[in-house]
Structure 1
Amino acid sequence: MDPKIPASIVQLFQTNCVPSPVDTQLISQLLTEQNLGLSIVNEELARARAEVSRLENKHATIMGIVHQLEALRSPIRRMPMEIMVKLFDHCVAVDEIQKPDPLRAPMLLGQVCSAWRELVVALPCLWKSLKVEFPSETQSWENVMQSRLMSMHVWISRTKALPISLILEHPQGSPIPRAALMSLDEEILTLGCRIQELSLSFSPLALSSLLTFTQSPLPHLQHLELHNSNQFPSNDNPSPLFLHEAPSLRSLSIAWGSLDTTQFIVPWSQLTQLSLQYDASPYWNPVHTDYLIALRQCPNLTSCSLGIGATIIDIDPDMVVPVTLPKLELLRVRLFCHTPYVHHFFDELYAPNLRTFEIQNVSLALGSFTGQTESLPFILRSASTLENLSFDRIDISGDDVFSCLSQIPHLQRLRFLPGPLRLNHDLVDSLRLSGTSSICPQLTSLSLKCSSTIPIDKVMALVESRCHGSPKLEEFCLQIATLNGGYGRDTRGQKIEQLGECLNQFVERGLEVHLMEAKPSG
């Protein structure tokens, strides 16, 4: 407390007493003195604040100069142009697919400074791929198409004369008017001589209007992808594909409701990658001709992905000719329905150099097909070269799986995810390495699906044996599913927690472990 204030006044501060007339007069005198002192202090504070503000402004000015001087010494200013080009090219390669998005490379790079913008615009290699997405719904397709085409013009103009990769997508929604499609079709046709990769995902009617480019020479076209974007079935299908001149085509991917490849005119013998109906929607109930007819014309295939549904016509056994694909290394098959054709297909196909085989049941039927052993003879014909094998929702008995795996000596990656009818644990025991006889001794990656009743000690014994083997197991994935369609008490979470604790010792030694609850089948 200020010593100038009398003690009698100070004592009144802590009470509710009424000051005496003498004290009241003294209080008025003290208020005058204190207010005078307050005004003096306020003036000093104002001067101090002004000085602080001046110093802050001076500090900001000096810091700005310091930053500018430091920027002059920045290594990026002395970076050789060749290195800058590689850095920019790497930024674009990270995204893989470029979109006209100011928050992504290459457009984002051009916002750093004028020098970077000039460099970015001057590098055709940064603009050689473009993905354009059309809205599912819009009030004015004319304005949308005009905007998209303008963006395409600006973007592609920066590629100079380089071959380009173009991805155009329109999800299921309101149909694009024919006038707007004609504008887009004309643009694709104009770019046809420069297109290296082309992917079109539209409704069947829209696709039919966008295939004019196939009538002109396509000297640089290496990859062509044509997909029906509608999730649900439609009676409309594009006309057969005619590629009159595509000498560089190596990869072809087609997926729409009904696929009659016998009507196609494409350079089958050039292809190294082929995908037919693999990306079809399960809701389509896709149909197709005998794939073997097309595959017979593809001796250079190294990768093939097929979606097997119902065949357009019945296969005549007397007309069957086996097909050998001597260079095929990867075969992926999706089963959309179970027909006699599945057996026919695998019986007649030979791939003596197959490295990877994947088969998946994507049927929407309740449960999954029983007795799905049609692919096993085909697998065994390629057993000497097979390294990667995947079964997804394929219900094969434990004995059949064991018999098959015991004949594949070089298998390195196994993925066995059965449907609900085969959630047994026989394979867990069978795959455990032992001193006497072991199947798949070269495994480094193993993925399994079992029910929540799987004993923890069985899993531990399997993993331990594989981690102590040579080569050591590097990756182990286990999906825990429920029995009886999920009825009853679900103990998957508890089982996963217990397994995680037990397997932690192997994680510390370098094993990559993934434990998860299996998604419902169907």
Structure 2
Amino acid sequence: MMDVSLSYLDSSLISDFSSFSQDHSSVCINTLDAGSYIIEPLPSSVNELLNTNEAPLHSKPLQCSLREAETVVSDLNQHLAKMQAEVAQCTLKRDQAVSIVQSYRNILHPLRRTPPEVLLEIFSYCVDFVDTEHPEACQKLDSLDTKREPWNLGQVCKYWRSVVLECPRLWSSLSLNLLTKPPNSAQAKKSDSASAVVLLSHYLRRSKDCALTIAIFTSQPTHPLLSLLCGHSNRWSDMLLSLPTAGFQSLSIINGCLPSLRALHLRSLDSEITWASTPVIDAFEYAPKLVLLRAHEIPNITSQFLLPWDQITYCSNHFPNGEVVARNEINRSNMDMLSKTTRLRHATLLCSGHGPSLPLAPLKHEFLTCITLELIRRSSLDLLDQFLDALTLPSLRSLRMTVSSRHRPRPSVQPIVRLLERSKCSLIKMRLKGFETDVSPDVAGSPSTFRVLLTSKAIRDSLQVICLAYFPNSLLQALTVGGTETPAPVLLPRLKHLRVSGACPVELDQTLFVSMVESRVKYTKFGSLVTSSQFVLTNQEAKKRLDELDTKYP
């Protein structure tokens, strides 16, 4: 129940309210102010009756007070309605003024005065440019999606559209993944293909004469979009082609039409059996600027493709699936590649296979400065030893080798020692993963092969960067400067960068590890210590010392 707490029930005020009631017809709510009404609490006698069920002795004064209170409530409601109307009208005018203010602010916004070159710099950070070095990431992009950049940037306003359309660099990179599930009907497939051709035509026209970076994934040898791209082959600069063998053969129409091609990435969608019966592909035979080649799942690429091998400076040959079936001749394929690429500087090669090793003719490569070798799982270690023993690399400066962790015991670095001694090179960077890195003497007291490697002429006075997955305590002790009472020559005196690519093993002496780093920092200008996310020091004291070292020698 709601109580009307008014002082009109007091007997002393009855006469006042009676007179007010008599003159009420002459009182207009417009001439009254809500603040003129004084609302006082109920008398104590009325409060007492509210706490009981008894009837009042004098009801007429109470009824009169009730009528007067209802009149006041009505007057106040009218006044409140008028105020609400005024508030609504004021709010409407305020909103109109705010809209005008916002319009002026929009017109005077600094973005309207932003020069086109600044806008283009901002837009360049919005567009997902294709990076052909990462095919998996390229495959997730869809350059014909009009809801993505750079399409949607031109849908903001007329000025932005003019800027976007006049910048061919925004349209110079595209990725087409055509391996998705095809439409249910032939009619839908035809419609989608026609729409894609129209969009790609717009895309290529907006790129004008700019060099193109393209990634295309399709299982159809003669897809309409691939044919449309071939019409612009004179602008291909960086190309990733993931095709079946018949698709590569259909590219013969661009032979001699690749004046700007600099990087070529070839990915096969067929098996080795299919490649065995495939004629030689000559689409890329004439490419005067081609210097980079990456091949994926293409066996014997030197015999499958006619390429300007003598001008290539970077070459890689990968088999991501890690299969070793029918790949016992991969070393011969690698050697053929090295023998044809006479100007090669960087090589990334795979050693895989099982069974007996095939004989290799010795090869001396005069220009190769960086080589990366990987022996995949279930492959014979003899393949790696055989390949290294056949090479002589006098210009070698960087060596990266990875052996699968499935190989136990860890393979020896003796083939590497023989390679460096034979090449008479000066190694600056070395990354080894999966090899035995213990420098403790063997049972007969002879130095370990890894110590022999670190003290060899090719490494001793030149190595500046070393990256290992496993640092045994014996190696940490050997790398520590001044770690023994007997003075000894400093191992790797020019070492500046130390990298750990593996996890922190339980047997690692973490205090010794930090002491080694501290000694290196004090001995020479130690550039950096880089550890993997799995390398976590659990010794809090050692971790604190390492953090303090980072603060002292940033």
Superposition deviation, residue 472 in structure 1: 2.4
Find the counterpart in structure 2 of residue 429 from structure 1. 477
| Matches for 1:164-179 after TM superposition, within 5 Å | 164-169=212-217, 176=219
Contact 2:238–2:262 under 8 Å retained in 1: yes
Contact 2:294–2:316 under 8 Å retained in 1: yes
Find the counterpart in structure 2 of residue 290 from structure 1. 333
Contact 2:237–2:262 under 8 Å retained in 1: yes
Partners of 2:58 and 2:474 in 1: how far apart? 101
| Distance 1:35-1:478 versus aligned 2 partners, 3 A rule | same
Contact 1:262–1:294 under 8 Å retained in 2: no
* Residue of 398, 404, 412 corresponding to 2:453: 404
| Matches for 1:122-521 after TM superposition, within 5 Å | 122-140=166-184, 145-169=193-217, 176=219, 181-202=222-243, 204=244, 207-208=247-248, 211-213=251-253, 215=255, 217-228=257-268, 235-237=273-275, 239=278, 240-242=280-282, 243-256=284-297, 258-277=299-318, 280-283=320-323, 285=325, 287=327, 288=330, 289-310=332-353, 315-317=358-360, 320-326=361-367, 328-336=368-376, 337-362=379-404, 365=406, 367=408, 370-371=411-412, 373-379=414-420, 385-398=426-439, 399-407=448-456, 408=459, 409-418=461-470, 424-434=472-482, 436-448=488-500, 449=502, 450-477=504-531, 495=538, 499-509=542-552, 511=554
Partners of 1:367 and 1:9 in 2: how far apart? 99
Superposition deviation, residue 267 in structure 1: 0.4
Partners of 1:40 and 1:209 in 2: how far apart? 94
Superposition deviation, residue 417 in structure 1: 1.0
Residue identity in the other structure for 1:415: C
Partners of 1:310 and 1:400 in 2: how far apart? 26
Question: After superposition, what is the alpha-carbon deviation per residue over 1:5-54, rounded to whole angstroms, capped at 9, x for unaligned?
Answer: 322223455x3x21414477766655554444444444444444444444
Find the counterpart in structure 2 of residue 18 from structure 1. 53
Contact 2:200–2:225 under 8 Å retained in 1: no
Q: Does 1:7 align with 2:44?
A: yes
Partners of 1:380 and 1:57 in 2: how far apart? 89
SS in 1 for 2:523: coil
Q: Does 1:121 align with 2:165?
A: yes
| Distance 1:86-1:53 versus aligned 2 partners, 3 A rule | same
Superposition deviation, residue 473 in structure 1: 4.2
SS in 2 for 1:245: coil
| Distance 1:27-1:403 versus aligned 2 partners, 3 A rule | farther
Superposition deviation, residue 211 in structure 1: 3.8
| Distance 1:73-1:18 versus aligned 2 partners, 3 A rule | same
Find the counterpart in structure 2 of residue 487 from structure 1. none
SS in 2 for 1:428: helix
Partners of 2:523 and 2:68 in 1: how far apart? 93
Question: After superposition, what is the alpha-carbon deviation per residue over 1:336-386, rounded to whole angstroms, capped at 9, x for unaligned?
Answer: 2235342232223333333332112247x5657533543343355678543
| Distance 1:397-1:475 versus aligned 2 partners, 3 A rule | closer
Superposition deviation, residue 213 in structure 1: 4.9
Q: Which runs of 5+ in 2 are unaligned?
A: 6-38, 132-137, 440-447
Q: Greater shift after overlay, 398-407 or 44-53?
A: 44-53
Residue identity in the other structure for 1:444: K
SS in 2 for 1:495: coil
Partners of 2:336 and 2:40 in 1: how far apart? 110
SS in 2 for 1:258: coil
Q: Does 1:69 align with 2:69?
A: no
Contact 1:188–1:213 under 8 Å retained in 2: no
Find the counterpart in structure 1 of residue 31 from structure 2. none
| Distance 1:470-1:102 versus aligned 2 partners, 3 A rule | farther
SS in 2 for 1:471: coil
Partners of 1:41 and 1:257 in 2: how far apart? 90
Residue identity in the other structure for 1:335: L
Superposition deviation, residue 64 in structure 1: 3.8
Superposition deviation, residue 114 in structure 1: 1.6
Q: Greater shift after overlay, 345-354 or 453-462?
A: 345-354
Contact 1:474–1:510 under 8 Å retained in 2: no
Contact 2:239–2:264 under 8 Å retained in 1: yes
Partners of 2:490 and 2:71 in 1: how far apart? 99
SS in 2 for 1:296: helix
RMSD: 3.7
Partners of 2:394 and 2:80 in 1: how far apart? 91
**Could you state the TM-score of these two structures normalised by the residue count of structure 2?**
0.74
Superposition deviation, residue 306 in structure 1: 1.0
Contact 2:467–2:498 under 8 Å retained in 1: yes
Partners of 1:471 and 1:197 in 2: how far apart? 39
Question: After superposition, what is the alpha-carbon deviation per residue over 1:159-190, rounded to whole angstroms, capped at 9, x for unaligned?
Answer: 112221111136xxxxx466xx4324422322
Q: Which has the higher strand share?
A: 1
Contact 1:217–1:244 under 8 Å retained in 2: no
Partners of 1:112 and 1:472 in 2: how far apart? 51
Q: Which runs of 5+ in 1 are unaligned?
A: 171-175, 482-492, 512-522
SS in 2 for 1:464: helix
Partners of 2:375 and 2:84 in 1: how far apart? 78
Q: Does 1:106 align with 2:150?
A: yes
Superposition deviation, residue 247 in structure 1: 1.7
Partners of 1:136 and 1:262 in 2: how far apart? 32
Partners of 2:423 and 2:95 in 1: how far apart? 73
Contact 2:214–2:239 under 8 Å retained in 1: yes
Partners of 2:74 and 2:249 in 1: how far apart? 84
Partners of 2:268 and 2:57 in 1: how far apart? 100
- Aligned positions, number: 479
| Distance 1:276-1:478 versus aligned 2 partners, 3 A rule | closer
Residue identity in the other structure for 1:199: L
Partners of 1:165 and 1:31 in 2: how far apart? 88
| Distance 1:404-1:163 versus aligned 2 partners, 3 A rule | same
| Distance 1:400-1:124 versus aligned 2 partners, 3 A rule | same
Partners of 2:190 and 2:404 in 1: how far apart? 38
**Could you state the TM-score of these two structures normalised by the residue count of structure 1?**
0.78
| Distance 1:41-1:453 versus aligned 2 partners, 3 A rule | farther
Structure number with larger C-alpha Rg:
2
Contact 2:245–2:268 under 8 Å retained in 1: no
Contact 2:346–2:370 under 8 Å retained in 1: yes
Residue identity in the other structure for 1:18: N
